[in-house]
């Protein structure tokens, strides 16, 4: 399994409820975590409402990290649109479950689903050192309701 496949499969398993969710303590912050292993491949994600970090190691020893920050717009603004945070997360889960291999890595992707629009755009890429930055956005009736920015980098384990 290559690094992009592992990031996609781990995300689908964790975000989709296919792994147990833990509550690690990092300093004084209580996070949520998801851990997934398959055939010597490891995916680990830790997050708070507002951001997190995924770490992966493939069975052949390649390691990467993907950090993310962002959130849903305020509850007041969501109410004005007649939607909830749960509605936004439901759309995000659908996109991740159905299109994970097209999102959050090295290619642009967008899809329209009724009144919803999802997009992921690569905003920066460098091969040496390996870095990819991207931005993910969900809009409802052409109004932005969710944004995540991403940073992806190889991890050098010595």
- Encode pLDDT of 128-143 as tens digits: 999 999 999 999 999 9
Residue reference for tokens 């995300």: 11
Rounded to 10°, the helix 85-99/3-15 angle is 140
Q: CA dist 116 to 16, 38, 109, Å?
A: 20, 33, 14
Which residue ranges make up each domain of the chain? 3-154
Burial of 73-100, coded b for 16+ CB within 10 Å and e otherwise, reads beeeebeeeebebebbeebbeebbeebb
Percent of the chain past pLDDT 70, that is, above it, reads 100
pLDDT band at 66 (very low <50, low <70, confident <90, very high): very high
pLDDT band at 120 (very low <50, low <70, confident <90, very high): very high
């Amino acid at each position: 399994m290559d690094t992009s496949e592992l990031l996609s499969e781990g995300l689908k398993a964790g975000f989709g409820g296919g792994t147990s969710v833990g509550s690690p303590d990092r300093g004084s912050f209580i996070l949520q975590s998801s851990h997934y292993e398959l055939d010597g491949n490891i995916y680990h994600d830790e997050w708070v409402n507002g951001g997190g970090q995924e770490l992966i190691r493939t069975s052949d020893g390649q390691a990467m990290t993907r950090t993310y920050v962002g959130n849903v717009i305020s509850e007041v603004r969501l109410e004005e649109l007649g939607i909830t945070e749960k509605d936004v997360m439901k759309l995000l889960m659908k996109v991740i479950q159905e299109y994970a291999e097209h999102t959050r890595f090295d290619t642009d992707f967008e899809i329209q689903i009724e009144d919803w629009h999802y997009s992921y755009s690569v905003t920066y890429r460098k091969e040496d050192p390996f870095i990819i930055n991207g931005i993910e956005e969900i809009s409802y009736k052409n109004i932005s309701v969710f944004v995540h920015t991403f940073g992806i980098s190889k991890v050098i384990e010595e």
